[in-house]
Each structure stands twice: as structure tokens, then as C-alpha cells.
Amino acid sequence: MKISKTQFKLSPIVPSVNFHLWQPCNMQCDFCFAPFLDVMREMKIPKGHLPERDCMAVVEQVADIGYKKMNFVGGEPTLCPWLSDLIVLAKERGMVTSIVTNGSRITGKWLDNLNGSLDWIGLSIDTVDPEKSIRIGRAIAGRIPITQENYLDIIGEIKRHKIRLKINTVVNSVNCEEDLTSFIQLAKPERWKLFQVLQVKGQNDAHIAKFEISTEQFEAYVQRNHTVESHGITVVPENNEAMTESYVMIDPAGRFFDNTQGFYRYSESILKIGVAEALKQVSIDPDRFRKRGGEYDW
């Protein structure tokens, strides 16, 4: 069952939303699903984000319509100077709060400022091999990778602040032969999400060919690494089919978007026509959301 142009009501069928509030990033992952250069150009947001007051208004409208969880993503969301205020606002409005970050700017002081308002952090870690990180672009300015020791220090701060941890790994041609289980056992995330690298036309198609892998290669990675489940870590694999049409997503210009046709299709602005009307202009399949494990013990 898909959300049609007339079905959406005040109780969202898919209860979680990803807000890509910040286009800029301090890393240069060549396979990035969301560089949003088209959004910057077409929507005339040269800095790659809405003003602070508009970001706040998007969060408020999403909360008002009944969403249960808001995940702040980018680009790199921790570059946003008012991210902490957005997280606090989302929490005050009753939502479970989460960010997805490369971890480079996560410090104990930054976490202290959140005053317990952040529920989850998703760390994007594709490999702990510095050379492979540079080949992927998962490195600060494309040159400085985060080491395994650095990642474990960051994770230590996250856990000290009693924030729940998940790790996101994009499986691609550079890392698909790896066994990452020893690191994952040290990190001990609650969830480990494995994404098959995905081509999105107009976003990453200029570089994606050298990173693409087959479904069989992805499944072999999952099989090789799923043994961490015996340590109480939930492994959540998402191949290209599972990733398509199963997320509610908002772009840096405050519009819903979907990936049903292999490229991003955008709604009108939420701030112009409201959440309910904007959501009717994109396609989300609640069955795919549930099938990929989108709703769990938040």
C-alpha cells in the first residue's frame, strides 16, 4: 500500500522522517547519495540550507502533524551551528531525536550542550582502513581519515552521554571484501545498518560506476559480517530495492522528496503548502518501510 495523493491524514502511516537540513559536508564521499547540488542551484540556496527560523518552522510543522521520530542528516549536520537547538525543539515537541554524522565534530562538550535531548547517533563508518577511507572520500577534506582509535574515542563519548548508537556502513567495491566484525564488536552499537551503494541520477552518477557492486557481492558482505548478531548487535541490511521508496525525506530547501524513479523528485515547499499537502506530491510505501525494519524499539 502506497501513500496516494488523497490518503495522507494527520496520523502519518510512516512515523519517521529524515531532514537533510544541511547540504555542506567536510568529507568528500564520491558515492554520496545526497550532495544536493541541484537543490542549491534550482532553489537559490547558495549556502546549502534554509535560514535558522525556517529550519525551526519545518521541525514544528512535522511535529504538529504527528511524526514520532526526526533524524537530522546532511551533508554533515553537525556543521549546522543551530543543530543543537533543532534537536532540543524536536525533543520538546515529543519526537525521538537522531542524527547521522561522520563523527568528525562529535565531542564531549558538544554532547554536553544537548542536555539529554538527543536519543540516537548514527555514525557513518564504511571502513577503519585509512587507505580505503581516502579512496572512498570518507575523510576530512578528502585527505584525513578517522582512525579506528578515534572512532572508539567518539563512541566512548556517545555512550558516556547515554545516547543510543547505530553504525551505518555503505558497502561498495572498495570495502565489500572486508570483515569488519572485530571493530563492530568493540564499538557495540545497538544496530548496524548495511547499505548497498546506490546510484541516484543527478546526485552521484558521475562517480558511482567505480563503486557499484552486485546484489550477490552485497549479500556476501552481509553473510560474512552478520555473526556480530551473536553479540547482541542487530544487523539491518538494505539492498537497493529496500532503500527505494521506503523513507520519508526532506531536502535542504524544506521539500519532501522521493527516489522512486532513480532520481530525486521534489514536492513544493512544506513552509508554503504545509506538510500534508507536500507529502501528497511524493511516493512512500509503508510496506517497504516496515519490511526494511524502519520501525523498531526507539
Give the model's pLDDT for residue 13: 81
User: Tens place of pLDDT for every residue, the chain, 298 residues?
Assistant: 344 433 444 447 899 999 999 999 999 999 999 999 999 999 999 999 999 999 999 999 999 999 999 999 999 999 999 999 999 999 999 999 999 999 999 999 999 999 899 999 999 999 999 999 999 999 999 999 999 999 999 999 999 999 999 999 999 999 999 999 999 999 999 999 999 999 999 999 999 999 999 999 999 999 999 999 999 999 999 999 999 999 999 999 999 999 999 999 999 999 999 999 999 999 999 999 999 999 899 9
pLDDT at residue number 6:
36
Residues 6+ apart with CB under 8 A from 13: 3, 7, 284, 286
236: nearest Cα among 249, 226, 250:
226
CA angle 12, 14, 15 (to 5 degrees): 75
Q: What is the pLDDT of residue 167?
A: 98
Question: What CATH class does 16-291 carry?
Answer: alpha beta
Q: What is the per-residue pLDDT for 3?
A: 45
CA distance linking residue 142 with residue 26, whole number of Å: 8
Q: What are phi and psi of 18, to 5 degrees?
A: -100, 120
Which pTM was predicted?
0.94
Domain ranges in the chain are 16-291
pLDDT at 4: 42
Which amino acid would we find at residue 274?
A: G
Buried-exposed string 228-263: b where 16+ CB fall within 10 A, e elsewhere: beeeebebbbbbbebbbbbbbbbbbbbbbbbbeeee
Which residue type occupies 56?
M
Write the single-letter amino acid at 171.
V
Closest CA to 30 of 106, 128, 133: 133
Helices (H), 7-138: 37-42, 52-64, 83-92, 108-112, 130-136
Q: Could you tell me which of 83, 91, 96 has the C-alpha nearest to residue 17?
A: 96
Helix, strand, or coil here: 242? Answer: helix
Nearest to 80 by CA among 36, 21, 129: 21
